[in-house]
Amino acid sequence: MDKTPHFRNVVLLWLLAMAIMLPIVIWVLGPGLPPGNATVQSHGQVVDNIVLLATSTPVALAVLVYFGYALWAFRERNPEVVLDGPAIRGNTSVQFWWLVTTTVMVLFLAAFGTIRLLADGAGGGQGPNPISIPPHATGDPPLQVQVIAQQWEFTYRYPSYGGVETRQLDLPANTLVEFHVTSLDVIHSFWAYQLGVKADANPGEDNVAYVNTLRPLSFVVRCAELCGLWHGYMFNSGRVLPKAQFVSWITQQRQQYAPATKNLPPYSKTYFPQPLRRGG
Amino acid sequence: MPSSRFGALRTGYITPGGQAMSSYAKRLVGVTVVAVVFCVAFGLYIGLYLINVPGSAAAVATASGDQLYLATVPAAELSDPHNTWVSYYAVNSTSGDWRHVTTYVLPANTLVHVTIFEYDSSTGLRNPLFSQPTGTVGPVLVDGKPTPVVNPTTPAHSFAIPQIGLSVPLEGVSSNAKNLCANAPCALSNAHFTVSFTFRTPSKGLYRWQCFVPCAAGFIQGNGGPMQTVGYMGGFIKVV
């Protein structure tokens, strides 16, 4: 009978591997995880990703350590005699701790995810009646920006600036932005990766998402819902600008698009444009 | 009966050496022939797919600059597989020939003068923002008249290259107009608007263009069929 304390050896090796890998995962790899730290929400997603990675690292290490240990410790030293080991028929202790450990992990992740979502919405679409409004240091009302998706371009309407609609998304820095995402035709998805915001654009629906901008940067907006022929080309760019520069930009946009603005319908959370009924 | 390593001999096939071919050998030959035929057919399919590039039309260099002539029609020519679909065409201004192509080859970083003969009737813009032309150098002329904005209910189509911010609405002719064109090719005597504008091409690359009017009659929300098929209401600008 083999008296080698295999279980103790595996546990010790696992603890050693965790002592080495967890600091690397949390403090070396973690800060570089996507989507970056451009906004409060994207920073929150980096933290979430670090927690998820740190939670899954012990599991992955347990598998790898056991795999390596088994290869080494249970190798057949006498190839002439190949015998199978005794059959294992149930182990109450292992089963109990397996259930306890996995249940605790799943419940922890569910609670963690719920708390994080309720804290500030995590940059996700919350539907027409959001319940997670992020706190904002300045106390100013959020800047409303309507994201209008259509086959195949995003356009952006600023109700607090005369309802002007633009073809580029520019935002002021250090501002709480309240996106109202909707569509004029099929289902699209507004995804500004660097901002940490992603919200479905549904026709006839107002999907609200929040972002606290921080410093100036350039970002890309993409459609993340397969929406037809030119879905792959449905992207445009945006910028987070210092506030004075943003005011200058939006003033220039109001002048440039003054003729079209007169043709726009009054600002509304959703639109049912005429060709929608005529097209078919 | 003699035997071979391939199994029992059967009558029917005689090898050059005079021996009958075994059933195993026959199966081997059959499988090989089928495999070769399949590989050749597959290779032809891939090869033809790779070399079968959709046709294109290039801007014509003239003394006044590069000119691109296009037309929009209520329905493609009768011989087209989709002869009820709205479509763009390239028009040869000299010969008057119409080509059903939607890939346009333009020189890079150059002012290109575009003339579009618009023969279709109005559908209206889904987003009135596109009622204002953008991205052009100079005004958009409709039948020679500068048009800074159109009524959003009147466009039949639009010509837009979103990546460079170009968007030009094309007003539709009245559905009560006399001598409406039914199918391509149309004549200048048919009711139409002539829309002309100039824009500067970007650097070399492949850009998509599209119509932003939901003009596909008979399809849900007007955005099916010709709006979802390259070669009708969308295509590429190949900047060389």
DSSP A119-162: HHGGGB---SS-S-PPP-TT-PPPEEEEEEEETTEEEEEEGGGT
The greatest distance separating any two alpha carbons of chain A, rounded to the nearest whole angstrom, comes to 90
Residues of chain B with Cβ-Cβ distance to A265 below 8 Å are 128
User: Cβ separation of A279 and B216 shorter than 8 Å?
Assistant: yes
- ipTM exceeding the 0.95 mark: no
Q: What pLDDT is attached to residue B115?
A: 95
Share of chain B above pLDDT 70, in %: 92
* Minimum distance, in Å, between the CA of residue B197 and any CA atom of chain A: 18
Between vectors from CA B220 to CA B214 and to CA B226, what angle results, nearest 5°?
Answer: 55
Is residue B233 within 8 A of residue B210, CB to CB? The reply is yes
Residue A45 has pLDDT above 50, yes or no: yes
Give the model's pLDDT for residue B151. Answer: 94
What percent of chain B has pLDDT above 90?
70
CB-defined contacts A:B, below 8 A: 98
Q: Is A31's pLDDT higher than 50?
A: yes
| Fold of the domain built from segment(s) B57-239 | Immunoglobulin-like (2.60.40)
Cβ atoms of residues B240 and B59 within 8 Å = no
* Closest Cα in chain A, distance from residue B215 (Å): 7
Q: What is the structure's pLDDT at B220? A: 82
Q: Do B128 and A263 touch (CB under 8 A)?
A: yes
pLDDT value at B11 more than 70: no
With bands split at pLDDT 50, 70 and 90, how would you rate the model's confidence at A277? very low
Percent of chain A with pLDDT over 70: 97
Contact B140, A176 (CB under 8 A): no
Q: Poorest-confidence range of A29-38, A64-73, A87-96?
A: A87-96
- Which residues does A28 contact at the CB level (< 8 Å), separation at least 6? none
Identify the contact set of chain B against chain A, taking CB-CB distances under 8 A. 123-132, 134, 148-149, 151-153, 160, 162-163, 165, 208, 210, 212-214, 216-223, 227-230, 234
Enumerate domains of chain A plus CATH numbers: 1-75 (no CATH), 143-273 (2.60.40.420)
- Per-residue pLDDT band at A75 (split at 50, 70, 90): confident
The amino acid present at B80, given as its one-letter code, is: D
Residue A253's pLDDT band (boundaries 50, 70, 90)?
A: very high
Identify whether the C-beta of residue B88 lies closer than 8 Å to the C-beta of residue B184.
Answer: no
Among chain B residues, CA nearest to A237 = B163
For residue A258, pLDDT over 80 is answered with yes
Grouping H, G, I as helix, E, B as strand and the rest as coil, residue A208 is strand
- Chain A residues inside the 8 Å CB shell of B213: 275
pLDDT of residue A274: 62
Sequence-distant (≥ 6) Cβ neighbours of residue A136 within 8 angstroms: A142, A176, A212
Q: What is the mean pLDDT of chain A?
A: 91
Contacts of B208 in chain A (CB under 8 A): 230, 233
Determine the pLDDT at residue B42: 96
Distance from CA of A262 to the nearest CA of B (A): 9
Report CB contact under 8 Å: B127, A150: yes
Residues of B in contact with A158 (CB under 8 A): none
What's the number of CA atoms in the CB half-sphere (13 Å) around residue A142?
A: 18
Lowest mean pLDDT among A24-33, A211-220, B211-220: B211-220
Q: Do residue A150 and residue B126 have CB atoms under 8 angstroms apart?
A: yes
Residue B103 predicted with pLDDT over 60: yes
Cis peptide before A34 (omega within 30 of 0): no
- Please, is B190 exposed, middle or buried when counting C-beta atoms within 10 Å of its C-beta (0-12, 13-18, 19+)? middle
Closest approach of A234 to chain B, Cα-based (Å): 9
Split at pLDDT 50, 70, 90, the class of B110 is: very high
CA dist B119 and B75 (Å) reads 10
Q: For residue range B62-91, what is the model confidence (pLDDT) as tens digits?
A: 888 899 999 999 999 999 999 999 999 999
In chain A, what are the helix, strand and coil shares in percent, each to the nearest 5? 45, 20, 30
Read off the pLDDT band of A279 (50, 70, 90). very low
Closest CA to B157 of B190, B183, B123: B123
What are residue A116's DSSP bridge partners? Answer: none
Residue of B nearest to A184 (CA): B126
Find chain B residues with C-beta within 8 A of A151's C-beta. 223, 227
Task: Give domain limits for chain B.
Answer: 3-51, 57-239
Name every chain A residue with its beta carbon within 8 A of the beta carbon of B140.
none
Higher pLDDT among residues A120 and B181, named by residue: B181
Q: Kindly list the residues of chain A whose beta carbon comes within 8 Å of any beta carbon in chain B.
A: 148, 150-153, 155, 165, 167, 184-186, 228-230, 233, 236, 257, 259-260, 262-265, 273-276, 278-280
Contact (CB<8Å) A275/B165 = no
Residues of A in contact with B153 (CB under 8 A): 274
